[in-house]
Amino acid sequence: MTTTNNNNNINTIHNTINEKGEKITINTYNGDYVEQCEFEDELTKGIYLQMLVAKLTTNKIKVPTSLLTDLKDIKEKHKTNKDFTIGLQCLNKKHPQHKRYMKLMKTANNGTNKILFDMVDKKYLEYKTLNKFIDPEFEKKEMMILTPAGEVAKDTMKMFKVFLSQKQKAPCFTWNQQLNILNWVDTPDLQAQFKIWKSLIKEGRLLCKDEWKTSGFIDKTEWFGIVVNEKGSETFCIGSMKLFNQTIQGFVYWFNKETNRDAMLKYLLK
């Protein structure tokens, strides 16, 4: 299971695929990101957070409020530490000692500081991947599900219950990204579509990995998903977000039986 809700939906874990095709997990708090990195040295964490803020700001990516709060607390706690304070100031590109300081940072501690830079780059890519999703204008344009009549569904879960009644013998459903609606996929159509996916995966035009499989609950019923993503695509599955609170790029096929999901995934990857 990849989505958890505790304390009245305060904490939610979102899964997505980053630009390198790797599955990543972001912990959010009331819609904002919570920095989960652990450091033995709080001063190192402060340097890391300041570097991350600088990179996000430079590239016009939203800086998580919780990240700024953590950084502010560390700055306040260690404001009498001159070396730490000066170091934070030197991280600013406009500071006259910025280039010299960054060079020293990369070569200090026998090069082990490179780990810090790698952590910043990795976290930056995660925030960059989700930046479109959290942008208010993007939500207005893309975060909607249409009813079969072509109207915007005001109550997603109520609409989903109606959608369930149309299931018949279809083994899974998926999100139609062109029409902004949920579609049941019956067995013949599923087999035909997955035959195409299998061919494209072998050609390297589509990506699918066993570790990308996911699951989620709706009204105590568990559903099991297969993720297929086009190389270079940044299209999110709005259906997965609306129904399961999961941020996933690509096409997601949700099965009501884990055995069916696993069998189709095995077929795709064989």
List pLDDT tens digits, range 54-101. Answer: 888 888 777 777 778 888 888 998 889 888 888 888 888 888 888 888
- Other beta carbons less than 10 A from residue 142's beta carbon: 16
What is residue 22's predicted lDDT score, i.e. its pLDDT? 46
The pTM (predicted TM-score) of the whole model is 0.50
The domains of the chain are located at: 31-134, 144-269
pLDDT digits (tens, 9 = 90+) for 88-145: 888 888 888 888 888 877 776 665 667 778 888 887 777 766 555 444 444 444 455 6
Identify the band that residue 38 occupies on the pLDDT scale cut at 50, 70 and 90: low
Instruction: Report the DSSP beta bridge partners of residue 173.
Output: 184, 254
Task: Extract the runs of DSSP E, i.e. beta strands, from 70-220.
Answer: 172-176, 181-185, 206-207, 214-218
Instruction: Report the DSSP beta bridge partners of residue 222.
Output: 217
Whether the CB-CB separation of 201 and 207 falls below 8 Å is answered with yes
Q: What is the dihedral of CA 12, 18, 23, 28, to 10 degrees?
A: -10
What is residue 68's predicted lDDT score, i.e. its pLDDT? 81
What is residue 129's predicted lDDT score, i.e. its pLDDT? 62
* 252 pLDDT more than 70: yes
* 249 pLDDT more than 50: yes
C-alpha angle 231-235-237 in degrees, rounded to nearest 5: 120
CA distance 92 to 54: 7
* 194 pLDDT more than 90: yes
* 32 pLDDT more than 60: no
pLDDT digits (tens, 9 = 90+) for 211-234: 999 999 988 899 999 999 887 776
Please, what is the average pLDDT of the chain?
A: 75
What is residue 18's predicted lDDT score, i.e. its pLDDT? 41
CA distance 211 to 213: 6
